[in-house]
Amino acid sequence: MKIVVIQGPNLNMLGVREQNIYGPMKLEQIHAQMKEVATQNGVEIEFFQSNLEGELVDKIQECYGDADGIVINAAAYTHTSIAIRDAISAVNLPAIEVHISNINRREEFRKENMIAPVCTSSVVGFGPFGYHLAMMGMFQIMNEIKAAQEAQTAQQPA
């Protein structure tokens, strides 16, 4: 099984920008923790970060046929990007949206969420621990899909 973690704009500045909102952890530290959890669970994990909307769309599309699930923090594009929404919808993979801060308790414009309706689930407001929660959720989703596929195969005549 393979999970692709896609990080949007300004997340490369974690640990530097607005620590009162996003905390002191750097993106590399979050990824190291996620890699450790993935390795412990026998899951391949790939990380990608870009500040460019088109690159995020390209990466989501590359997941089609190559990944089993996506963990995505589209950051500011969450509130504006129909292109990212459409890409997530097009690849038809389990996708869990993560936000370090609780976007529902912030500025009014952050309450508009373009991608949540096409994601399997959302994790918001747990700080960097939200990525761990998303990983646990993705493992559960992947196990449920695998069990359903096995049950369907078992029911087919030989």
The residues carrying an active-site annotation are: 22, 99
Give the C-alpha separation, 16 to 92, whole Å: 35
Report whether 117 contacts 74 (CB < 8 A).
no
Angle at 94 between CA 144 and CA 39, to 5 degrees: 75
Please give the span between the terminal C-alpha atoms of the chain, in angstroms, as a whole number. 27
The rounded Cα 123 to chain-centroid distance in angstroms is 9
Sign of the four-CA dihedral 127, 129, 131, 134: negative
